Amino acid sequence: ETGVTQSPTHLIKTRGQQVTLRCSSQSGHNTVSWYQQALGQGPQFIFQYYREEENGRGNFPPRFSGLQFPNYSSELNVNALELDDSALYLCASSLGSGLNTEAFFGQGTRLTVV
Amino acid sequence: GDSVTQMEGPVTLSEEAFLTINCTYTATGYPSLFWYVQYPGEGLQLLLKATKADDKGSNKGFEATYRKETTSFHLEKGSVQVSDSAVYFCALSDRGLTGGGNKLTFGTGTQLKVEL
């Protein structure tokens, strides 16, 4: 069984541009969550998708948006990039989102905004 | 809202030393508690978890006990190895999403360096 894979691994963008990050969930997993991890900090919850619907959202502005596809893969889109958006973006997949559900993380996409 | 507080690092130990990384939490409900580990250049890996009060999670020699009375979930290992060098994150899971799902709330992480 394949794990969670994210692409690209590294990305450099200019302030004001738009970016799309991609995540393939682990086989059989129907839930994908996205997290932002700033340097030296813990991951912060952005949003979660369950069976193609947004299941909840953290304290991030609307320029952070997402999609989940019928095969449960997912995209994170960020518009009007700001310097503070520079971070490691982590995708986690799980089977459902119960309280005790284990989330499996990808290796992340390192986004640098200049 | 929910929050997790971890001891600041880096923590530097000699090989075979005893490890404790403190973690306390604040939550309105009855969360599940987790420790994740992040090796350089990698994503997060689940190390252990506990789902209710007095549960002990354990894996690879690491242990943590869910203490509801002190709202703590301290990570311990009796004898660390150089290969344990990584960043350790304490996290809680508490149902709170509008769609009924749960999210993870993480601490800021504690870097562990183990030297020969």
> Over the stretch B31-60, which tens digit does the pLDDT of each residue have?
999 999 999 888 899 999 999 999 999 999
Q: Which residue of A has its CA nearest to B104?
A: A45
Write down how long chain A is: 114
Measure the CA–CA gap between B29 and B95, rounded to whole angstroms.
Answer: 8
Instruction: List the 2-61 stretch of B: residues with Cβ below 8 A of A.
Output: 4, 31-32, 36, 41-46, 49, 51
| Contact yes or no for B43 and A35 at CB 8 A | no
Measure the CA–CA gap between B29 and A51, rounded to whole angstroms.
Answer: 26
| Contact yes or no for B103 and A48 at CB 8 A | yes
DSSP letter at A85 equals G
Which among B44, B45, B97 has the least Cβ separation from residue A55? B97
Q: What is the 3-state secondary structure (H, E, C) of B43-91?
A: CEEEEEEECCCCCEEEECCEEEECECCCCECCEEECCCCHHHCEEEEEE
Per residue in A45-93, pLDDT (tens digit) is: 999 999 899 988 999 999 999 999 999 999 999 999 999 999 999 999 9
